[in-house]
Structures are given as structure tokens and as C-alpha cells.
Structure 1
Amino acid sequence: MLEFIDRTLIPLFLSLYDAVGYVGVALAIGLETFIPIIPSEVIVPMAGWKVSQSVADPSVVEPLTRAPWSWFAVLVIATFGAVLGSLAGYLIGAWGGRPLLDRWGRYVHIQPADLDRADAWFARYGGWAVFFGRLVPLVRALINYPAGVARMPLGRFLLYSALGSLPWNAVLLLGGYLLGANYRRLYDGVRPYELAVYALVLLGTAWLIWRWLRRPQPRPQGVAEGEGGE
């Protein structure tokens, strides 16, 4: 897998960024959001690297606007691409259901066991699974499908997708920007950085879920009034 990333994915997406700039970022992140084989931990930092190159050398510009790469613009476009990719996965789940995914998912490395885990995650946490799932590797590319199968309200799905994708993209873009200052070591630097991001995101997600599960539950009004009447 690592050889595939180094020899195929990274050169492919760097060429895409060099050719069509922000459009390439949106396309890459969109594909990553519903195809598990494409790791966001590599392609998002690559976009941050492009920003750092523009800062170091003003002649390095985004090819469509002919202006320097903007970190804020990349963040917005990456999040927009993530939402579009999420929508594609949602629609596949809504229109084709689990039978379609079981039959064809293996061609894009979507395994039934992975879908089972995503289904269980969604069944347990409902709509919040979409938000939290955006912060967890692998789950982020799979949670769209059970949300579509369950016909989660589309507006809420898109909102949670955007809110969950924004901080994840921001962290990875910042990491790519910082690593880009020494870009010749970027490929080696992504992997230890990736492990640190995994640890922080998983710990933060676990804490948020724990707080959410322990929140006070409001008592039904009828029960409270009945107890007061006694």
C-alpha cells in the first residue's frame, strides 16, 4: 500500500494540482471522501505543501487564478470537495442500498466487514456519526453509505459532513504547510505526522462521544408533573 501511495497516488495528485489547481484539490478530496483507498492524510497535506511553496517563492502560483496559493482558499475548497464526495456516497447508499455496495464495493476497496462497522457506528450514534465519522480515518469514507441507506435528512447530512470535514482538513493542511518548508523530506515526514494526527483525532473524538453520551437526559414533562401531583 505504501509503495502504491508513493509511486502512484502522490505523483498523480501532485500533477493534478499543478495542472488544474483548486479544481484538482476539490476533485482529489471528493474522491477521497468516498473511496477508502485514497488517504486524505497524504493528499490533503500535499495541498498545504503547495501553499508553502507559494509563500517561499511567489512565482509558484495556482494555475487557474494565476495568484499565489491561499491556505484559506484551499481549506474552503477542500471542505467543499469533501461535501461533494460525501453526497456521492450518500446518493449511492440511498439509490442502490446495501446490495449494490456488497456487489460492487470491492472494486474500490469497500469491504462488507468495513460497511458492517460503519452501519454499527451509524446505528449507535445516528446523525452524529456523520460528524464524528469525518474525524476518523477509514470511517470518514464509509459513513456516507449507511446515512444514505437510512435516508438521513439530506440537509442535516451535508451540514454535519461540512462541520466534520473542516477541522480535519485544517489540521492536515497545516501539517502539509509546515512539512513543506522542508519539502524534500515531505514523503517521509507525512507518516509520523499521520500517526500523531490519528492519535489526537481519535482521543478527541472519544472524549466528545463520551461527553455526548453522558449529557443529562430531560425528563418527560408528563412524568415530572405526575410525580409532583403525588
Structure 2
Amino acid sequence: MIAEFLIAYITAIIHKIGYFGIFILMVLESMIAPVPSEAVMPFAGFLVYSGKFNLFLTILASSIGSIIGSLLSYYIGFYGGRPFVMKLGRYLFLEEAQLDFTINFFKKYGAITIFISRFIPVVRHLISIPAGVGRMGIKKFVFYTLAGATLWNSFLIYVGMKLGENWQSISKYTEQLDILILVLIILAVIYYVYMHTKRKGAH
């Protein structure tokens, strides 16, 4: 469940500086900072629902913020490597176990993890770092990040629009939502592996 003080902080920023607030918050969300998109984007969706924000500009601001934040993390990993990341992580509540899990996740599933990770809690905040450490091609990184971030942000905006004034109720179900999405992703990966193996067997 998302802490009330964090929701108050997020809504205050967006109220004060509008689309730029969404951009800044999503830059932070895509780095190691503990800013949940599950609070930022549903509130933005509510503002779209109430006519205060434009849907296209909201998606644009959030997606650009996500890609900028991810690129900053990518280059931290690219130029700083693991030692620097862990040194920085001490100030941002990043545990070594979290970083190791994300690095192993990236190594195991490859470039597609950049897309998939946008839907997985914890991993979405960290995946850009191992991509940088692993020297992933920048064009491929930007493509998968932008695709995943835009889809995830748009989904959360839609949820906020549907919930309307009750947008904060999503905070009660974030854990269940994350589990549901994780299960769907696992099923999709299993299906992909099955079909890939089946095709190879046919040849």
C-alpha cells in the first residue's frame, strides 16, 4: 500500500507544476528513487478525467520522463559499473540483493527484459543499470524502454480515468495488481519459450 505522505507529496508536485511535475516524477521513478508510478499516473489520469489535463500531453510527459530517467540509470551503469552503483545505492535504499536479482534477470532473459521490466515492481526501477553495465546497444535500449513505459503509463492513466475521484483506491490494490501482472508475464514467457522450442523441434 502506498503511504499517504507519498501520495500527498506526488499530488502537490503535479498540482504545482503540471505536466513538468509528471515528467520530473517519472524521471525519478525510472531511476532508483522510491517514486511509484502506481501513484503518479492514476492521479494524472484523474486530472485527464476532470478535464484539467490533456490525455496526449500526459502520456507524452510521462513517457519522456521515463526514458530520460532510464537513460540516466543506463549511463550510471555504463560508466560507473557495479562498484559505483552500490556506493550510490546506499543513499537511495538500494540493497545489493536487489541489484543482483535485477542483473541476473537481465542476463537470463536478454533485451526483452527491458520491455517486460516496466510491468514488474522493483525490477522496473533498476533494470536500466544492468543494461548499462552489460553495454546493451543504446538504440535497442531506448526502443524497448519507450515501448514498455508508454504502455504501462497509459494503462495507469486509463485506470485513473476510470476510477475518477476514487483514483486513490488503487493504492489498496497495488500489491494484487503487481502480482496479477507478474503472473501474466510469466505465462507469456512460458508460452513464448514453448512456441520457440516447438518451432526449433519442427526443424
When normalised by structure 2's length, the TM-score is 0.90
- 1:18 matched residue in structure 2: 15
1:218-229 superposed matches below 5 A? none
The answer to whether residue 142 in structure 2 is matched with residue 145 in structure 1 is no
1:211 to 180, 183, 191: 191
Between stretches 142-151 and 97-106, larger displacement belongs to: 97-106
Matches within 5 A, 1:70-81: 70-81=54-65
Residue number in structure 2 paired with 1:117: 101
Aligned length: 200
Question: Deviations 1:165-209 (Å, cap 9, x if unpaired)?
Answer: 122112211112222234xxx43x122332342133112211221
Moved more, 198-207 or 74-83: 198-207
For the 8 Å contact 2:10–2:39, the answer to whether it is kept is no
The answer on 1:161 being equivalent to 2:141 is no
1: CA distance, partners of 2:196 / 2:163: 43
**Deviation above 4 Å: which 4+ runs of structure 1?**
none
Q: 1:105 maps to which residue?
A: 89
| Paired amino acid for 2:124 | R
The answer on 1:48 being equivalent to 2:51 is no
User: Is the contact made by 2:44 and 2:58 (CA closer than 8 Å) also made in structure 1?
Assistant: yes
- 1:57 aligned residue: none
Could you tell me which runs of 5 or more consecutive residues in structure 1 were left unpaired when the two chains were aligned.
Answer: 55-60, 62-68, 225-230
Query: Displacement, 1:36?
Result: 4.7
SS of equivalent to 1:72:
helix
Look at both structures and tell me which one has the larger radius of gyration over its CA atoms. Answer: 1
Cα distance, 1:79–1:195 mapped onto 2, change above 3 Å: same
Structure with more relative contact order (C-alpha pairs < 8 Å, separation 6 or more): 2
> CA offset at residue 118 of structure 1?
0.2
Structure 2 unaligned residues grouped into runs of 5+: none
- Opposite residue 32 of structure 2, the aligned amino acid is I
Corresponding residue to 1:127 among 90, 111, 115: 111
Q: What does the per-residue CA deviation read over 1:18-58, in whole Å, with 9 as the maximum and x for residues that have no partner? A: 2221111111111111125211111111111211222xxxx
The match for 2:180 is 200
1:6 and 2:4 equivalent?
A: yes
| Distance in 1 of aligned mates of 2:196 and 2:174 | 35
Whole-angstrom CA distance in 2 between matches of 1:196 and 1:71: 26
TM-score, normalisation: structure 1:
0.80
Check the 8 A contact 1:17/1:24 in 2, yes or no: yes
Match of 2:72 among 88, 99, 103: 88
Greater displacement, 191-200 / 204-213: 191-200
Q: Give 1:39's aligned residue.
A: 36
Residues 175-186 of structure 1 aligned to structure 2 (within 5 Å): 175-182=159-166, 186=167
